[in-house]
Amino acid sequence: MPRYLAIFGTFARACLVRDLTFRANFILECLTSLGWMSMNLAFYLLVFTFTPEIGRGTGWTKEPFFAFVATGMIINSIVQALFMPSAEELTEMVRSGGLDGVLVKPLDAQFLLSMHRVDFSALANGIVGIVLLGWAVSRFDIPPPLIAWAIYPLLLLCGVAILYAMVIMLAAATIQMGRNQSLYDFWFYLTNFSRYPAEIYSGPWGGPLRAICTFVIPILLVVNVPARVIAQPLAGATWWAVAGTVLAALAAVIISRWVFQRSLARYRSASS
């Protein structure tokens, strides 16, 4: 583990040097990301001028909902910074044969393929998310208990782990198909489900969709559970959700590792 941390630190330093070499581009990427997020926040503010709560009786009033949004920003910024830049390069590596060079290196292939690039501009949204979370929590009628703050970082890591597992699953599909230019698009469509409280998925169509996105593809656990721990009172159902999220994260990482290894075992060199 210390060896891989040191190697990742080398990757991160190299990426930071590259970003700072082209400062104008780095600043522009940060501003673009912040501009997109600002428009989303403005939309949510507009929504709350017409309703005091997202869903009747759900508890997602203005401040709790913005804590939910902030949680999603933090989790997604980590994934976008650490994993997505490398995943986006995988299609070209498979097509051109660059994957062959990765496989002969004396390091874990999954580590190299998923963490060799870091996009520091993506962390701008995470910083805004932390500020937004502080603002929202400071306006709660009842502040979150200490146990909620103790569990919250663990659940953030679980959310990151679930999304990372999905990135690895998509990477495995890319290796199998040999060409998958829609990787990022599919990722965007999939993560859209995690951007809203689970309570909005109700009714004859929403209920089955909620079940699938909770128990089959646990995308609804990524943001909903950590946000609920901070924004709403802890109750028996919440503790079950916390345990389920931890187990889902462990299962997702293990399954994605197995699927990725199977894909590598079936990979044929681009030159073969």
Tokens, residue 86: 């490398």
Provide, rounded to the nearest whole percent, the portion of the chain with pLDDT above 90.
Answer: 26
pLDDT grade, residue 270 (50/70/90)? low
pLDDT of residue 184: 63
**pLDDT exceeds cutoff 60 at 272:** no
pLDDT of residue 110: 87
Q: What span, in angstroms and rounded, lies between the C-alpha atoms of 54 and 152?
A: 22
pLDDT grade, residue 87 (50/70/90)? confident
Q: Report DSSP letters for 213-260, one per residue.
A: IIIISTTHHHHHHHHHHHHS---HHHHHHHHHHHHHHHHHHHHHHHHH
pLDDT of residue 58: 75
Provide, rounded to the nearest whole percent, the portion of the chain with pLDDT above 70.
Answer: 95
- pTM for the model: 0.90
Report, as an integer, the average pLDDT of 58-84: 90
pLDDT grade, residue 271 (50/70/90)? low
Task: Classify the C-alpha dihedral 264-216-224-203 as positive or negative.
Answer: positive
Give the total residue count for the chain.
272
**pLDDT: which is higher, 262 or 206:** 262
Q: What span, in angstroms and rounded, lies between the C-alpha atoms of 50 and 203?
A: 23
For 53, phi and psi rounded to 5 degrees?
-155, 140
**pLDDT exceeds cutoff 60 at 253:** yes
Report, as an integer, the average pLDDT of 2-24: 85
Q: What span, in angstroms and rounded, lies between the C-alpha atoms of 183 and 84?
A: 10
Mean of all residue pLDDT scores within the chain: 84
* CB neighbour list of residue 41: distance below 8 Å, 6 or more residues apart: 66, 69, 132
Query: 252 near 165, Cβ under 8 Å?
Result: yes
